[in-house]
Structure 1
Amino acid sequence: MTDLFDKAPREGRQPLAAALRPETLDDIIGQRDIVAPGSILQRRIRARALGSIILYGPPGIGKTTIARAIGNMLGKEFRPLHATRDGVKELRKIADEARIKPLLIFVDEVHRFSSTQADDLLSICEEGTADFVGATTGNPYHALPPALVSRSTILKLEPMSIEEMCLVVRRGIEHLQRSGHEIEISDDHVRLIAGRSGGDARRALTTLESLVLGHAGGQVTITEAMLEEAYAAAPVNHDRQSDAHYDTISAWIKAMRGSDPDAALHYLAHLIHAGEDPRFLARRLMIHASEDVGLADNTALQTAVAAATAVEKIGYPEAQIVLAHACLHIARAPKSNSVCRGISAAMAAVQSQPQVVIPKHLRDAHYKGAEALGHVGYKFPHNDPRGWVEQEYVPGLQRGTFYQSDARSGATFEGRADEFWKQVTGKVQTKTFG
C-alpha cells in the first residue's frame, strides 16, 4: 500500500483535508466493505467497467475522495459538477467531450438535479458515454429519480469509527509535522478530536489545522480549552430532512421499547444537542407511553403528558431534564403492546367487514318511544354486587379477537386486571404469551 503522505502535495496552501486526499482506494481509511480488495467497486475498476455509481452517506465521510480515487485508478480525467451550480449546458458540454476522451463525471449533491438535468444524465449513463459517480446525502430511494436509481449501483457509506478517525487525525498530525510544525498533543486529545468530529474526517482535519496554524513560532501544545473553543458548535450530523434525523429517532424509540435506559438517554442527548424541537420529542414520548408501555403502567402516559406540558412552559436547557424523566420512565417501565395491537386489529376489522348491527338492549333509550322500539333489556353492571353482569355487546365477537393481554406478571396493572376479572367472571383473559 502506498503511503498517503508520499502522495499528498507538499507545496502551496492546500487545506489539510485536500492535501491528504488519497489517490487510490487502497489508501482510504474506513469504508472497508466498499473499497476492500474483491469488493464490487474494486472488481469494476479492474474490469474497467465502472458504469454508474451512487455514493450515499452523510457529509465528510469520503464520497468525493472515493470518486477521485476511482478516476485515478481508471486513468480517466475527473470532471466534477455540482447540482446547484452546473446546469444542463455544462452537462451536455462534458458529454460531448467524453465522446472523444475518457472522462469520469462526478456530480456532487446529485439529489438536487432538476428533472431535465436528470434526463440528460440518464442519457449519458445509458449510452455509456462516460463513467458516472454521484454523491448524495439523501436516501437515493427517496431523493433520486427511480430511473437513475435503477441504472446505478447504490453504495452506502457509513461514518468512521473512533479508531478510524484517530488514524485520520494522526496522519494529519504527521503531515503537519513534516511541513515544519512542532505539535504536542495527548492521546486523549487525539481521541477527543476524533470523537467530537461526528464521524466527519474533513471536519477533524479542518479542526486540527485550525488549532495548529497561525501560532508565532515554536511548539504548539493542543489544550482542552482550545478544543472546547473549536467545537463550540454541534458536531453531529443531523439534517432534519435527512436519514440521520429519522434513523436517530428510530434508534431512540427502539432503545426505550427495548428497556435500555442508557441507550435511550444517549440518543435523546444526541437529539437535544442537535437542536431538535423539544415539543416534537415530547410528542414522541406520549405516543410510546401508550404504544410500548400501555396497560403495563398507566402512569407512563401521565408522565409523558406532564413532560409535554412542562417543555411548553420552560424550554431548553431545563427541558432536557423533563424529557429525560419521561424517557427513563418509558425505558424502565414494564412493557405491553396490547393497546396498540388491539386498536390496530379493531380498526382493520371495522374498515374491512360489514357494519355490526348494534343490539337493541345497547341502543339509546333516553327518549320517549325508545321502549316501543324495543330498546330494552340492558343490564346495569353497577346493580350487581360484582360490578359486572354477563351480557353481549357485539354479536358474535369472541373474547380475545382484538384485545390480548401482554401481562408478564401480576405486578403490572394489566396483570392485576387479569387476576381481578378472572375472579369476578370465572373467565381467563386471552393472552399473547401463554
Structure 2
Amino acid sequence: MDLFSPTAPRIPPSTQPSGTEAPLAERVRPHTLDEFVGQEHLLGQGKPLRVLIETDQLPSMIFWGPPGSGKTTLARIVAKHTKADFFQLNAVSSGVKDVREVIERAEANRKHLRKRTILFIDEIHRFNKAQQDALLHSVEDGVITLIGATTENPSFEVISPLLSRSRLYVLEPLSTTQLNSIIDHALHTDTVLAKQSIVVNEREYLIMLSGGDARMMLNGLETAISLCKPTAEGKRIVGKKQIEEAFQRKYVKYDKGGEEHYNQISAFIKSIRGSDPDAAVYWMARMLDGGEDPKFIARRMIVLASEDIGNADPNALTLATSCFTAVDYIGMPEARIVLSQTATYLASCPKSNASYAAIDQAMSDVRNMPDEPVPLHLRNAPTKLMKNLGYGEEYKYSHSYDQHFVEQQYLPDNLKTKIYYRPVDIGEEKSIRERLNRWWKSKKR
C-alpha cells in the first residue's frame, strides 16, 4: 500500500486480544474518559488534561505514575478520541529503527496529508539516551506529538531536552475506594464474570497484595476466582487462601508510598550510620522483598556516603555512585548483590559528618549575616582600572611557596577566624586534621 495514501493503515492502539481469552484487566479496560477511574485532578470536568483530550489539542507529554494507575489506558483513550495518526511502541521491545520508521511516517503525514501523528511510548524510561535522542528533533519540530509513560522519576530517566519539551502529568496512586469501584465494575460488567455468582470476602487483602496496581489486582482476582470451587448454591467465594495462591506469596507489610516505606528506609540508613552491616542488609532485604525501587536505595546510599562518612573514607562516595550506575545497568535481581556489597562497606567505614556540618554552618552564616565583600587581594583584576584599585594586589600564589602552601586570609574580614570544617580524629580525616593544623598555625582544629 502507498505510504502516502490517506487509507494507509494506522497502528492499532492495542494489540491485546479483545475476547474472553484476554486477561480480565484487558477485558474491562475503560474506553472513555467517563469510564476511567481515578486521576480526578487531571481528568475531572474542566481539568487540563481532559480538556486537551476532548478538544484533540494534545502537546507532547509524559505520564508519570505507579504501575496500574492508568497511564496506558489514558493513551488508548487518546487514540480513540484523536484524529491524528496514532502509533504505539513499547520501550522494552522497540529500538531506534522502530522510532525512525514512525518518524518517517509522521513526516509523510505532515507533508502529504497535513495530518498530525501521535507516538505513544510505554515504559519510556527503558529507552537509553541514544534512543531518546532519536526522538528529540521530531518532537521539537512538531513532526510527532510524544506521549511517554513511565513509573520512574522523569528527572532521572528522561533526558532533559526531551523533558523540557513535554508537559509532565503526575498520576496518583489509586485509593482503596477507587480500587473497590474497579472490582465492582469488573464483577458486574465483564462478559465472563458477570455470568457467575462471585463474592470477594478479602478485598482489602487483595488490594494490599496488588500494591495498588489495578492491573495486577484484576488479573490476580481472576486467577483467585478460578481457584475457587463453587458452593452447592453455585457461588464462588474468594477468600484469603485463594488470593495468596493467586499471587504466590503472602502480604509483605511494605507500602512504597506510606509509613512503612519511611520506617524501613530510616532503619536502613540508621543501621549504616550506626556501623551495623547485619542490620543494614536485613532492612535492605525487607525493602527489596516489598518491591522497593533498587535505585531509590542506591540514591540514599550516595547521600549517606557524604553525610555520614565523608572524608573519613573518601572511597565511600566513589563506591556509592558506582553502585547506582551498576544497579541502573543490570537491574534486579542481580542488583541486590551490588547493593549488599555497598551497604556492608558503608556500614563498616569509619564515620564523620564534619563536611556535612561545615556546609550547614556556612549556609547559616550566609543566610543570617550581611553579604561580606571579597577581600581585595582575592579579587580578579582583568582591567587596568581594577588593578589600579588594588584588585589582586598582595595575593600570594600558593605554588610559589614551600609545600605549595602559604598562610593568608581567604575568608571575609568579619569571618577571618571562623572554622567551619572540623575533621574528626578517625580514618582519613585524622591525617587531614593533622595536615591542616600543620599548615594553619593560627586556626587549630
TM-score normalised by the shorter chain: which range applies? 0.5 to 0.7
Matched residue type, 1:274:
G
Matched residue type, 2:42:
I
Residues 96/41 of structure 1: CA separation in 2 closer, same or farther (3 Å cut): same
Matched, 1:189 2:212: no
Matched residue type, 1:223:
G
Q: Root-mean-square deviation (CA), in Å?
A: 4.6
Give the Cα separation in 2 of the matches to 1:272 and 1:15: 27
8 Å Cα contact 2:229-2:236 kept in structure 1: no
Question: How is 1:204-353 mapped onto 2 (pairs within 5 angstroms)?
Answer: 204-213=217-226, 218-233=234-249, 248-249=261-262, 253=266, 271=287, 274=290, 345=360
Matching residue within 124, 132, 155 for 1:118: 132
Residues 275/182 of structure 1: CA separation in 2 closer, same or farther (3 Å cut): closer
Partner SS, residue 202 of structure 2:
helix
Equivalent residue for 2:36?
A: 28
Partner SS, residue 62 of structure 2:
strand
Matched residue type, 2:246:
A
8 Å Cα contact 2:90-2:121 kept in structure 1: yes
Matched residue type, 1:45:
I
Give the Cα separation in 1 of the matches to 2:410 and 2:93: 50
Give the Cα separation in 2 of the matches to 1:235 and 1:249: 18
Matched residue type, 2:241:
A
Equivalent residue for 1:156?
A: 170
Q: CA deviation at 1:37?
A: 1.9
Identity among equivalent pairs (%): 29
Give the Cα separation in 2 of the matches to 1:40 and 1:149: 19
Residues 273/131 of structure 1: CA separation in 2 closer, same or farther (3 Å cut): same
Equivalent residue for 1:202?
A: 215
Residues 9/194 of structure 1: CA separation in 2 closer, same or farther (3 Å cut): same
Query: Number of matched residues?
Result: 287
Residues 191/130 of structure 1: CA separation in 2 closer, same or farther (3 Å cut): same
Residues 15/75 of structure 1: CA separation in 2 closer, same or farther (3 Å cut): farther
What residue ranges of structure 1 are gaps of 5+ in the alignment?
1-7, 258-266, 292-338, 358-393, 396-434
Question: How is 1:355-366 mapped onto 2 (pairs within 5 angstroms)?
Answer: none
Equivalent residue for 2:72?
A: 64
Give the Cα separation in 2 of the matches to 1:251 and 1:32: 31
> Deviation digits for residues 113-171 of structure 1, max 9, x if unmatched?
23332122122212222322101111111211110110000011111111111111111
Matching residue within 68, 73, 81 for 1:73: 81
Equivalent residue for 2:58?
A: 50
What TM-score, normalized by structure 2, do the two folds share? 0.53
Question: How is 1:363-374 mapped onto 2 (pairs within 5 angstroms)?
Answer: none
Q: CA deviation at 1:15?
A: 0.9
Residues 107/183 of structure 1: CA separation in 2 closer, same or farther (3 Å cut): same
Give the Cα separation in 2 of the matches to 1:247 and 1:96: 48
Residues 179/122 of structure 1: CA separation in 2 closer, same or farther (3 Å cut): same
Partner SS, residue 180 of structure 2:
helix
Q: CA deviation at 1:210?
A: 0.5
8 Å Cα contact 1:177-1:183 kept in structure 2: no
Partner SS, residue 24 of structure 1:
coil
8 Å Cα contact 1:25-1:70 kept in structure 2: no
8 Å Cα contact 1:110-1:135 kept in structure 2: yes
8 Å Cα contact 1:181-1:219 kept in structure 2: no
Residues 230/195 of structure 1: CA separation in 2 closer, same or farther (3 Å cut): same
Q: CA deviation at 1:67?
A: 0.8
Q: CA deviation at 1:249?
A: 3.7
Equivalent residue for 1:137?
A: 151
Matched residue type, 1:91:
V
> Deviation digits for residues 223-260 of structure 1, max 9, x if unmatched?
22212323443767989xxx969993489659x99xxx
Partner SS, residue 199 of structure 1:
coil
Equivalent residue for 1:15?
A: 23
Equivalent residue for 2:141?
A: 127
Whichever of the two has the greater Rg, that structure is: 1
Residues 154/208 of structure 1: CA separation in 2 closer, same or farther (3 Å cut): same
